[in-house]
């Protein structure tokens, strides 16, 4: 049996998919299998996968599903002790599997996730920035604060497959932030560790981005607040109330958004940004969105 199951989820990105597949098959530690989960593509995806001509590759075409659902389908098929996911537009560096497996061999049994540094590249493959890993150990509160990019993408970490199964896998009802939500549940019970080197190239481009669904993102934060609110500090609860309120204001629901922002102020009267958001919410969702975009650029 392979020690590692690599999983690529894909939909209509045949040209980019070829590079992702090559990056997996070129690993210096080749004790792996590769599952390519095709979300009912209508392009040359199947031909690209068949063209890899490697016995370690399994092509699985499935009906249209969320990325979370596709990853769970792959988890049910995975034979490896470890599982590592790769988006179809990203690429692993050659030593990724080797260094992450070595890290698992050296850490305590309660470590369930090992990640590394990452490089962001543009649509043409040019380097935009690199990010070094900083979070290790018990990281639940740090993940909730979201002050660090952590893995940067689901394409970065390697996970113990048994732990992901014990956690119930991904929440397949989610259409955004499904990896972060899984990592939160994992961090409740397990530790994480990292390798210092860059292990993945994450592509940034103008293609479809599920994370741009503001209303869906607010729903994720409401879910997280409902689950972890009782153990959050007042400052952290206020942060989530403020973020949810801001997203609701940006999507035209200013009345409900202001209710969340008022709750943020009551929870933490020192949350200065919440006061500003409350005032801006009366200017209309168009102005609010433009000012939000400006703040994100300069912050």
- Check if the beta carbon of residue 158 is closer than 8 Å to that of residue 29: no
* Reduced 3-state DSSP string for the chain: CCCEEEEEEECCCHHHHHHHHHHHHCCCCCCEEEEEEECCCCCCHHHHHHHCCCCCEEEEECCCCCHHHHHHHHHHHCCCCEEEEEECCCEECCCHHHHHHHHHHHCCCCEEEEEEEEEEECCCCCEEEEECCCCCECCHHHHHHCCCCCCCCCCCCEEEHHHHHHCCCCCCCCCCCHHHHHHHHHHHHCEEEEEEEEEEEEECCCCCCHHHCHHHHHHHHHHHHHHHHHHCCHHHHHHHHHHHHHHHHHCCCHHHHHHHHHHHHHHCCCCHHHHHHHHHHHHCHHHHHHHHHHHHHHC
The string of pLDDT tens digits covering residues 117-157 is 999 999 889 999 999 999 999 999 999 999 999 999 999 99
**How large is the average pLDDT for residues 48-67?**
96
Whether residues 28 and 63 share a domain: the answer is: yes
- Check if the beta carbon of residue 200 is closer than 8 Å to that of residue 153: yes
The string of pLDDT tens digits covering residues 226-274 is 999 999 999 999 999 999 999 999 888 999 999 999 999 999 999 999 9
Between 294 and 101, name the one with better pLDDT: 101
> Domain of 38: which CATH number?
3.90.550.10
Whether residues 139 and 240 share a domain: the answer is: no
Q: Is the pLDDT assigned to residue 296 strictly greater than 80? A: no
74 phi/psi in degrees, rounded to 5: -65, -40
**Residue 295: predicted pLDDT:** 75
**How large is the average pLDDT for residues 192-202?**
98
Whether residues 167 and 234 share a domain: the answer is: no
Whether residues 218 and 198 share a domain: the answer is: no
**Residue 299: predicted pLDDT:** 64
d(CA 75, CA 221): 25
The domain containing residue 37 runs over which residues?
A: 4-210
d(CA 268, CA 78): 45
Residue with tokens 């993102």: 217
Which candidate, 14, 3, 62, 58, places its Cα nearest to that of 35?
58
Q: Is the pLDDT assigned to residue 169 strictly greater than 90? A: yes
d(CA 95, CA 113): 17
For helices 272-280 and 234-250, angle between their N-to-C axes, nearest 10 degrees: 20
Residue with tokens 């002790």: 81
Which candidate, 122, 110, 187, 106, places its Cα nearest to that of 151?
187
Whether residues 199 and 282 share a domain: the answer is: no
Whether residues 178 and 232 share a domain: the answer is: no
Whether residues 182 and 50 share a domain: the answer is: yes
pTM of this structure: 0.92
- Cα torsion through 186, 190, 195, 199, rounded to 10: -20
For helices 272-280 and 254-267, angle between their N-to-C axes, nearest 10 degrees: 160
Whether residues 202 and 257 share a domain: the answer is: no
**Residue 285: predicted pLDDT:** 75
Q: Is the pLDDT assigned to residue 74 strictly greater than 70? A: yes
**Residue 209: predicted pLDDT:** 44
As for how many domains the chain has, the answer is 2
Whether residues 267 and 200 share a domain: the answer is: no
* Percentage of the chain lying above the pLDDT 90 cut: 84
**Residue 212: predicted pLDDT:** 53
Mean pLDDT of the chain: 94
Whether residues 159 and 90 share a domain: the answer is: yes
Whether residues 205 and 226 share a domain: the answer is: no
End position of a domain, from candidates 210, 227, 244: 210
Whether residues 61 and 162 share a domain: the answer is: yes
Q: 165-169, 174-178, 188-192: which range is least confident on average? A: 174-178
End position of a domain, from candidates 171, 188, 210: 210
Q: 33-37, 178-182, 215-219: which range is least confident on average? A: 215-219
State the Rg of the chain over Cα. Answer: 20
End position of a domain, from candidates 156, 185, 210: 210
């Amino acid at each position: 049996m392979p020690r590692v199951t690599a999983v690529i989820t894909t939909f209509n990105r045949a040209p980019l998919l070829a590079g992702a597949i090559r990056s997996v098959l070129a690993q210096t530690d080749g004790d792996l299998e590769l599952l390519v989960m095709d979300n009912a593509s209508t392009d040359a995806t199947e031909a690209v996968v068949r063209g890899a001509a490697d016995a370690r590759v399994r092509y699985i075409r499935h009906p249209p599903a969320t990325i979370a659902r596709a990853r769970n389908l792959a988890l049910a098929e995975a034979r490896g002790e470890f599982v590592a996911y790769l988006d179809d537009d990203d690429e692993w560096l050659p030593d990724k599997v080797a260094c992450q497996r070595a890290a698992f061999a050296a850490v305590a049994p309660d470590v369930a996730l090992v990640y590394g540094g990452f490089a962001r590249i543009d649509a043409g493959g040019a380097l935009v920035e690199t990010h070094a890993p900083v979070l290790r150990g018990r990281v639940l509160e740090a993940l909730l604060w979201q002050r660090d990019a952590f893995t940067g993408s689901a394409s970065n970490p390697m996970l113990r497959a048994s732990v992901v199964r014990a956690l119930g896998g991904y929440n397949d009802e989610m259409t955004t932030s499904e990896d972060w939500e899984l990592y939160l549940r994992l961090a409740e019970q397990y530790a994480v560790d990292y390798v210092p080197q860059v292990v993945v190239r994450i592509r940034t481009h103008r293609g479809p981005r599920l994370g741009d669904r503001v209303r869906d993102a607010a729903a994720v934060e409401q879910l997280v607040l409902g689950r972890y609110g009782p153990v959050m500090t007042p400052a952290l609860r206020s942060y989530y109330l403020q973020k949810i309120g801001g997203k609701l204001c940006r999507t035209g629901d200013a009345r409900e958004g202001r209710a969340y922002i008022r709750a943020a102020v009551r929870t933490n009267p020192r949350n200065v940004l919440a006061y500003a958001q409350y005032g801006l919410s009366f200017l209309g969702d168009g102005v609010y969105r433009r000012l939000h975009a400006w703040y994100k650029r300069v912050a």
